Chains A and B, each alone.
Chain A
Amino acid sequence: MEQTPEYVIEMLHITKEFPGIKANDDITLQLKKGEIHALLGENGAGKSTLMSVLFGLYQPEQGEIRKNGKPVKIESPNDATALHIGMVHQHFKLIEVFTVLDNIILGAEDTKMGFLQKKDARAKVKALSEQYGLHVDLDAKVEDITVGMQQRTEILKMLYRDNEILIFDEPTAVLTPQEIEELMQIMKNLAAEGKSILFISHKLNEIMEVSDRVTVLRKGKYVGTIDTASTTKEELSRMMVGRPVQLVVDKDPAQPKEAVLTVEGLTVPSKIHKNDAVKNVSFTAHAGEIVCIAGIDGNGQTEFVHALTGLEKASAGKIELCGRDITHLPIRARSQTGMSHIPEDRHKHGLVLDFTLEQNMVLQRYYEPQFQSHGFIRFGAVRSYAEKLIEQYDVRSGQGPVTVARSMSGGNQQKAIVAREIDRDLPLIVAVQPTRGLDVGAIESVHKQLVAQRDEGKAVLLVSLELDEVMNLSDRILVMYEGEIVGELDPKKTTVEELGLYMAGAKRQGKERESA
C-alpha cells in the first residue's frame, strides 16, 4: 500500500535555457492538495516560462515533474490536460464570437456522428456553476459579457474538464475591487472542495489575503517557499526584488498654480454602442499637480483621452490648454500647444515597432528644425538626440539607437516612450497607464519622474487602473464611471475601499443623499 503523497504536483529542479539566458535555473515548486499556493515574482522572473514547462509548451533541460509522487512527462498541452491541469490565462483564451457554452465545450465536445450534442454539457455546466457560485449566461456571446463573467467562463472551462490543479495567471489585473473580492471567495471555495490552486501574482495584498504558501522567484532563480501566515508584505517584496523596496513614492504636498488644462462638458460618442462613452466631463488641471482619472477599464477613460489628444472627435464640450481653445484643433496643433501624451497602448499608438529606436525617439518632433532642413532628415542630430535620451532615461536595448523597437523588451519600450514624452518639456503630460507591464524597479523610476515633472511646474494628468498607483501618486483623484466623473477624492483622506465603491458605481457624489 502506498500512502497518499503530500504533493499533487511537484516541479523539481527545473532548468530551462534560451540562447543567452537561463529563464529557469533550478526551480522547485511543490503544490499540496487543497492549498492555494502563490507564485510571486517580477516580470522576467521566470514565472511564465515555468508555467509553459508545466503545460508542455517548453521542454526543460533539467529537472522533472511529478504528479502525486510519480514522475510524468508533459510534452504538449494535451498531456497537461490529461493530468487534469488547467489554467486561467492572464489574457483570456476565449473565442469572442462564440457563446459561453461553446467556449466551455470547445476541445472537449460531445458528438454524435460528428454533430455537436450540447444538452448534457449544458446540464453539467449549470450544475458546476451552481456548486461554485459561478453565475454566467451560457447563451450570451463572450464579447457581450463583462470581464468578470469572462473569467468565470474560464474557470468553468477548467471545471468542465474535471481539472484538479487550477492555475490562475495574474487573475486580478482586469477586475474591479469588488470582483477581486468575489474571485478570492471563489478560489477559497474551490480549494475547500479539494482543488489545488496555483496563484501567480505580483500583488502582495492579494497574496497575503488568499494564499496558504508562497514561492518566490527572482531573475530565473528560486528564492524560497514560505508560509504566508509567517511573513509580511515587506519581506515578500524584499524577496521578490532582492533589495528593500519603497512601496510608496516620496513626495511633497502639491503646490498647484495656474490652470493648464480646462475641460468643460466634454462628451464623446461611443464607437461600440449608441450611448456616449464620455458624458459631460468637466475639470481643471493645474500646473504643479498630478490629477488622476481613476476607474475600471472600459468606463470611458480611453475615449476621453482620445478626445483630449485629438485621436477622436468630441460631440460636445470645450477643451482649453494653456489659455488656448484646442477643441477643434488637429492632433499636432494640440501637441504643439503644450501637451505630451504617454499613450495607453504602447504597441498600437506609442511606437512604430518596425522603426529603429532613434526613429521612434523623434516620432513627435522629426519635423522640428533641429532634426530636418528643407525636408531632409538630419541623421546626425537624430542619432545624438536618441543617444542622449537612452543615456539619460536608462533605456536598454541590443544595439542602441539602431535597435528595432520590436525587439526590445516591453519595459524598455515603455521607458523609451516615457523618455520621449517627458523630454519634450511641455506644460501638460497626459500619462495613461504609464507603468503597465513594468517591473517594480521601473515603476519606481517612472513614478519619480512624474513627481519630478510635477515639482517642475508641469500639470500631470494620470489615467490609471492600478489602485496602488492612484493612491500613491496623485494629488487629486477623479473617478470615472460609465463615462461620467462620479467623484472627486483626496487621496490623503480616502481609502481604497471607498475608491472601489466609486469605481464600481455603488457610490457617487451629489447623489449620495438620494441613495442613502
Chain B
Amino acid sequence: MKEKTPLMQRDGTRSVLASLLSILIGLVAGAVVVFLVGLFNKSMSLKTAWEGIQLIFLGIISTGRNAAGELTFGFNPVTFGNMLFRATPLILTGLSVAVAYKTGLFNIGAPGQYLAGTAATLFIALEIPSSVVPAWVIWILAFLGGMAAGALWGAVPGFVKAFLNINEVLACIMTNWIAANLVTWAFDVSNLKNTVENTKTAYIYKTSFNGVQTPKMFLDKIFPGSQINGGILIAIALAILMYIIFTKTTFGYELKACGANRHAAKYAGIKDKRSIILSMAIAGAMSGAAASLYYLAGNTEFFWSTYQSLPATGFNGIPVALLAVCNPIAVIFTGMFMSMLDISGLQLTNLTAYNEYITDVIISVIVYLSAFSLVIKLWLGGKAKKKAGAKPDANAEPAPKADAGKEAGK
C-alpha cells in the first residue's frame, strides 16, 4: 500500500479524463458524420464539410462570416451569455438525473417533471395579477410552485417503485407521456394562450406579459445583449446545495445507502420506501426548477400543444449527469458544455447547410460512451490487463474473490 496514489491512479482524475475522452470521441464522431455527408452529398463541397467540422469544435467562439464569406472566430459576449442562459435548465435537469442516479435510480422522467414545473410556473406567474401582488412575490411563488410540481411528478414513479416494485424507467416513461397530455390539456382549456401576437399559434404568454421575470443581477453588464439572467446563479447554488446534502449529511447517507443496497438500508432501520420517494421527489424538484428558471426568464415562450413530443432539455439531463459522473459540482460544467454544443448546433444551422441535429448525434455518442465509462477508466489507468483489472477486487486474493462471486450469484 502506497501512502499517496499517483495522479493517474486516482479515481477522480480518471473520471475526469474518461469524460474528456468521451467528449472528444463524441465530437470526432460528429465531425466524421459531417465529413461523410459532405463527401457523398453532391450539393456540398468539401469546404462546406470543413466549415461544419470547424463549427462543431469552435461554434462557441464563432462570430459569423466576414464579407468574403469566410467563417470568423473570436470572443462574443452575446454567445457566451446565451450559453450560460441555456446552461441554466441543463444544469438543473442534469442535477435531477445525477441525484437520482446517486441513489440508485435512473430518472428518465426529467421531461415529464420539467413539463409539470413548466405548467405550475406559468399558471402561477400569469394567473396572479401583478397589479395586486408584487411581481417579486409572484416570481418566488412561481419558482417554488414549479419545483413543487416537479417534485410531485417525480414522486409518482418513486411511489410505484417503492410500493409496487415497478421499474422506475418504465414508470418514468409513462408519467412523461401522461404529463405531456395533461399539460396540453390544461393549457388548451386555459386563457393563457398568446392572442396578442397573432403571428404565433399554440404559444403561451411570456411571463413578462404579467411583469414577472428573473432579475438580471448585473450579469447583463458582463454579457451585454445576451439573454442571461440571475437564473444561472440559482442553478449553481442548487448544485452546491445538492453536493452538500449528498456528501455531508446523514440524510444524504441514508438516500445513498438505500440506493446502493435497499435491503441493507432497510436492515439498518432506514425507511427504504420513504427514501426512494424522497430521492425521486428531489430529482423532480430539480427538473421543475429547470423549467421555472427557463420560463421565468420572461423572454421565453412555451409551445403548449406538446402532446406529441417531450422537451429535449429533460432528456439532455442524462448526458449532463453521466458526463459529470453524477457529481453535482461537475454537473455545473458539463451543463455548460452541453449548452455550448447547442450553440454550435445553431451556428451550424445558421451558417452552413447542416442542421442542429448533429449536436444530438454527438450527445448520443457521448451517452453511449458513458455506458461503459468504467472500461474507459480502467483503460486510462493502464489496468486493462484483462481479468485482473476487469474486476474491482484486483488486489484481493483470488480464491476469496471466487467465493464472493458465488455468493453474489446466489
Contact = CB atoms under 8 A, between A and B. Distances in A.
A–B direct contact (CB < 8 Å): yes
Interface of A: 18-21, 23, 43-49, 52, 90-91, 309, 311, 330-333, 335, 341, 343, 346-355, 359, 363-364, 366-367, 372, 375-377, 398-399, 404, 406-411, 413, 437
Contacts of B395: 19-20, 398, 407
A88 to B, nearest CB: 14
Nearest to A353: B261
Interface stretch (B182-190, B200-208, B247-255): B247-255
Given A375-B251, A410-B404, A18 B260 contact: no
Nearest to B409: A91
Interface stretch (B48-56, B82-90, B262-270, B317-325): B262-270
Given A47-B399, A331-B267, 7 more contacts: A43-B403, A44-B400, A331-B268, A355-B260, A364-B268, A406-B392, A409-B403
Nearest to A350: B264
A330 B268 CA distance: 11
Interface in B235-285: 248-251, 253, 256-257, 260-261, 263-271
B410 interface: yes
28 contacts: A18-B398, A19-B394, A21-B397, A23-B398, A43-B403, A46-B399, A52-B402, A91-B409, A332-B269, A343-B267, A346-B407, A349-B266, A349-B267, A364-B268, A367-B250, A376-B250, A377-B253, A398-B395, A398-B396, A406-B393, A406-B404, A407-B393, A408-B393, A408-B396, A409-B393, A409-B400, A409-B401, A410-B403
B353 interface: no
B260 A48 contact: no
A91 B403 CA distance: 11
A375 B399 contact: no
Given A43-B399, A398-B396, A363 B408 contact: no
B260 A363 contact: no
A48 B402 contact: yes
- A-B interface, 5 closest residue pairs, ranked by CB to CB distance from nearest: A332-B269, A409-B400, A44-B399, A349-B267, A407-B393
Contacts of B266: 311, 331, 349
B267 A375 contact: no
Interface string B371-410: 0000000000000010110001111111111111011111
A270 to B, nearest CB: 18
A335 B269 CA distance: 8
A105 B402 CA distance: 27
Contacts of B250: 366-367, 372, 375-377
Contact of A407 (B256, B396, B398, B410): B396
B397 A377 contact: no
A349 B272 CA distance: 13
Contacts of A46: 399
B405 to A, nearest CB: 10
Given A18-B398, A364-B268, A407-B395, A353 B260 contact: yes
Contacts of A45: 399
Contacts of A352: 257, 260-261, 264-265
A388 B332 CA distance: 39
Nearest to A407: B393
B400 A411 contact: yes
B1 interface: yes
A399 B1 contact: yes
Given A354-B260, A377-B249, A399-B1, A409 B397 contact: yes
A241 to B, nearest CB: 15
A350 B408 CA distance: 13
A376 B267 contact: no
Nearest to A351: B264
Nearest to B396: A409
A170 to B, nearest CB: 10
Contacts of A407: 392-393, 395-396
Contacts of B396: 398, 407-409
A382 to B, nearest CB: 10
Nearest to A330: B269
B407 A349 contact: no
A301 B273 CA distance: 25
A376 B393 CA distance: 31
Contacts of A367: 250
Contacts of B268: 331-332, 363-364
B398 A375 contact: no
Nearest to B252: A377
A437 B261 CA distance: 21
B321 to A, nearest CB: 18
Contacts of A23: 397-399
Nearest to B247: A377
A324 to B, nearest CB: 16
B397 to A, nearest CB: 6
A297 to B, nearest CB: 12
Nearest to B385: A19
| Residue picked from B399, B401, B409, most chain A C-beta under 10 Å | B399
Contacts of B264: 348-352, 363
Contacts of A48: 399, 402-403
B403 A19 contact: no
A44 B399 CA distance: 5
A20 B263 CA distance: 34
A372 B393 CA distance: 31
Nearest to A398: B395
Contact of A311 (B257, B260, B267): B267
A404 B393 CA distance: 9
A346 B406 CA distance: 13
A59 B260 CA distance: 35
A189 B403 CA distance: 30
A396 to B, nearest CB: 10
A353 B264 CA distance: 9
B402 to A, nearest CB: 5
Contacts of A43: 399-400, 403
Contact of A349 (B253, B263, B403): B263
Nearest to B257: A352
Contacts of A354: 260-261
B377 to A, nearest CB: 14
B219 to A, nearest CB: 32
A333 B234 CA distance: 40
A351 B257 CA distance: 10
Nearest to A373: B250
A142 to B, nearest CB: 15
B78 to A, nearest CB: 42
Nearest to B270: A332
Contacts of A353: 260-261
A90 B401 CA distance: 15
A21 B392 CA distance: 16
Nearest to A360: B264
Contacts of A375: 249-251
Nearest to A412: B400
Contacts of B251: 375
Given A48-B402, A331-B267, A410 B407 contact: yes
Given A311-B267, A366-B253, A19 B388 contact: yes
